[in-house]
Structure 1
Amino acid sequence: MDISAFAGEGQLMEVIALGLALIGSGLIAGFLAGLFGIGGGAVLVPVLYQFLTVLGVDESVRMHVSVATSLGIIVPTSLRSFLAHRKRGAVDLELLKSWLIPLPLGVILASMVAAYVSGEGLKGIFAVIAFVLGVRMLLNKEHWKLGNDIPGFPVRPLCGAGIGFFSTLMGIGGGVMNNTFMTLYGRSIHQAVATSAGTGLMISVPGTIGLIWAGWGAAELPPFSAGYVNLLGLALIIPVTTFAAPFGVKVAHALPRRTMEVFFGIFLMMVAARFLLSLNGF
C-alpha cells in the first residue's frame, strides 16, 4: 500500500518521523516495563494516539485503537519482564495463581464495555487513576498501610477483577494498580514490581483478544487493523520493547525502595498531565 496516499500529500516525512518516535517510545516503554513492572502502556497510548491523529484516523475509534494496540504490544514485553523477575525469585506466584480467574474476568468485562465508551471517556479514566496513584506514591509514608499482608476472600478476588477491568480500559498492564495494592498490604515495592509483570501478562493476553472481538467490523478503522488492534503498530514497537525490558529489571533491583516510589510517582503524574491536557484540547 502507498503510505503517502494514505497519509496525504506532504505528510509522508511527518509519518516517517512519527514512526521513528514510535520506535523510540518502544525503547522507553520496554525499559519502564522492567523498571516498574508495567507493560509500558502509559507511554504507548498517548504516542499511538498522536500517530493515528496525523494519519487522519477517525476520532471515534482513535483512542480505542491506541488502547487495544498498546495491550497487544504489552504481551511480549510483560512476558520477558516476568521471566526476568521470576528468575530472581522476586515474583509472588501465590498471588498470581489466586487471580487466575477474577483478573481475566475483569478484563473480559472491560472489553465488552470498551465498545460503548467514548474516546474522551477512556482518556478521562486514564488521567484520573494515574493522578490518584501518582499522588499516593509521591506522598507515601511507611505507616500508610491497610494491613500487614494481602487479604483473602472476598477482598483479593474483587481487587483482582478491578485491576483487570480498569487496566484494560486504560490500555496498560496493571502494574500501576497492582504496585499500589501490594504495597498498601505490606509488600515491598520490589516484589510488587516483579509481580506486576505477571499481572501484565494476565491482562494483556485476554485484553488483546477481547478488543479484537469488540472492534471487529467497526467503521473507520485504520488499515492493517484486526478489530481495534493495529498490526502495523505491533510490528514497529514489539521488537524494541522486548529488547529493552531486561535493562529496566536490572535497574529496578539496584535502586532503594523510596527512590523507586518517587520515580514511579513522578512518572504517573506526567502521564495524568498529558491526558488532562489532551482532554482540554492541548
Structure 2
Amino acid sequence: MSDFLSQWLPTMIAMVLTGAFAGILAGLLGVGGGIVIVPVLFFVLQHFGISAATAMLVATATSLLVIVPTSISSVRAHHKRGNVDWALLKRWWPFMVVGVIAGSALALKVKGEVTSAVFGVVALLVAANMLFRAKAAPIAQQLPGMAGQGLMAGTIGFFSVMMGVGGGTIGVPLLNACNYPPHRAVGTASCFGLLISIPGAAAMLLAETPADAPQGMIGMVNLPGFLLIVPLTVLLAPVGAWIGSKLEPVMLKRVFAIFLCISGGRMLMQVFA
C-alpha cells in the first residue's frame, strides 16, 4: 500500500488538480480545454518533480487525447445548431491533417523546450488578440483562394498539435480575421479539434515514454490523467459557467488573456532562462 501511495498518489493528485482547475476555467471563460489543460498540467507536473521538457510533452499528449471525446460532444452540439461549415471542412481537412502529421513528427523529434516555446509565443499572441483586437475590423473581407485556405488549414493543424490544443485557439481568430461569421467559426473549429486530436493523440500514444515521466504512461500520454481530467472537466465546467454568469463578460476575457500572458510568459522564461 505504501509503495502504491508513493508511486501513484503524486500523479493522481496532479491530475485531479488539473482536471478541476481546467474544468472551472473552461466553463468560466468559455474556452476549449486544451488551452487550459496544457499550462496547468505543465506546471503541476513540475511541482511533483517532473522535468520541464517531459512535463510539456506529457501535458500536450494527454491534452490531445482529452480533446477527442470533448470534441465529439462539441461537434454534435454545434451541428444541431447549424453552425458547422461542412463544405469548408471538405476543402480543409487534407491540408489540416498534413499539418498535424508534420507537427506531431516535429514535436516528437525536438525537445520539450521547443514545444514550450511554441505554446508560449502563441499564447501571448492569442492574449494580445483578445486584449487589443476584440472590436477591431477584419483584416480581409473574405477567405483567400484555395492556396491561401490550404496554408491556413495546415498552419492550424501544425501549431495546434504541437501545443496540444483543439482548433479553436488558432482557427477561430484566423477565420474571424477573414470576416467569417463568428458562430460558424466556433462551430466549424470544433470539427478542427477532431481532425487535430485523433491523429495527434495516436502519434503520442505510439511514442517512446520519457524516462522521468510520471506513473501510468502509454507513450507520451498519461492514462490516469486522461481518465481523471475528462470527467472532472465535464462535472466542473457548469460550476465555472455559473460563476461566469455572475461576472462581466469583458472582464472575463481580460482575466483569461492575463492567464495566457502569465502561462505563456513563464513557459518562455523557463525555456530561455
**Correspondence for 1:207 among 200, 207, 219:** 200
Whether the aligned pair in 1 keeps the contact of 2:123 and 2:264 (CA below 8 Å) is no
Q: 2:23 aligns with which of 27, 33, 38?
A: 27
Structure 1 counterpart of 2:168, from 153, 175, 196: 175
Distance 1:197 1:263, change over 3 A: farther
Identify the residue that residue 233 of structure 2 maps to in structure 1: 241
User: How do 1:109-128 and structure 2 match up within 5 A?
Assistant: 109-128=102-121
Query: Partners of 2:106 and 2:69 in 1: how far apart?
Result: 25
Q: Equivalent residue of 1:89, what SS?
A: coil
1:219 aligns with 2:215: no
Alignment of 1:84-233 (within 5 A): 84-140=77-133, 144-213=137-206, 215-233=207-225
Specify the code of the residue in structure 1 equivalent to 2:262. A
TM-score by length of 2: 0.84
User: Following TM superposition, by how much is the alpha carbon of 1:200 offset from its aligned partner in structure 2, in angstroms?
Assistant: 1.0
Q: CA offsets, 1:133-154, max 9 Å, x none? A: 2222322276632322222310
Is the Cα–Cα contact under 8 Å of residues 78 and 197 in structure 1 kept in the other structure? yes
- Which amino acid in 1 is paired with 2:5? S
Q: Which residue of 2 aligns with 1:276?
A: 265
Using a 3 Å threshold, how does the CA distance of structure 1 residues 266 and 5 change in structure 2: closer, same or farther?
closer
Q: Secondary structure at the residue paired with 2:146?
A: coil
Change (3 A) 1:136 1:217: closer
Report deviation, 1:251. Answer: 12
The answer to which of 139-148 and 111-120 deviates more is 139-148
Q: Where does structure 2 lack aligned partners over 5 or more consecutive residues? A: none
C-alpha deviations, 1:51-82, integer Å up to 9, x for none? 32233334442210111001111111111112
CA RMSD for the aligned pairs?
A: 3.1
Q: Which amino acid in structure 1 is aligned with residue 218 of structure 2?
A: A
- The farther-off stretch of 265-274 and 125-134 is 265-274
From the superposition, tell whether residues 46 and 143 of structure 1 become closer, same or farther in structure 2 (CA, over 3 Å): closer
2:61 aligned partner: 68
Q: Please give the alpha-carbon distance, in whole angstroms, between the structure 1 residues aligned to 2:191 and 2:243.
A: 18
1:68-106 CA-to-partner distances (Å, cap 9, x unmatched) read 001111111111112111111112222222122111111
8 Å contact 2:14–2:41 — kept in the other structure?
Answer: no
Q: Secondary structure at the match of 2:42?
A: helix
Name 2:256's counterpart in structure 1: 267
Aligned length: 267
Q: Is the contact made by 2:127 and 2:258 (CA closer than 8 Å) also made in structure 1? A: yes
How far 1:217 sits from its partner (Å)?
A: 4.9
Deviation of the 1:113 alpha carbon = 0.4
d(CA) in 2 for partners of 1:157, 1:244: 37
Matched residue type, 1:271: L
Deviations for 1:222-241, whole angstroms, at most 9, x for unmatched residues? 32111111111001011233
- 1:107 and 1:203 in contact (8 A); partners too: yes
Mapped pair 1:52 → 2:41: no
Q: CA deviation at 1:112?
A: 0.7
Name the SS of the counterpart of 2:55 in structure 1.
Answer: helix
Supply the distance in 2 between the matched residues of 1:188 and 1:250 (Cα, whole angstroms): 27
Tell me the amino acid that sits aligned with residue 84 of structure 2.
V
- CA distance in 1 between partners of 2:81 and 2:147 (Å): 30
Distance 2:143 2:263 in 1: 33
Structure having the higher helix fraction is: 2
- Please give the secondary structure, in 2, of the residue aligned with 1:280: helix
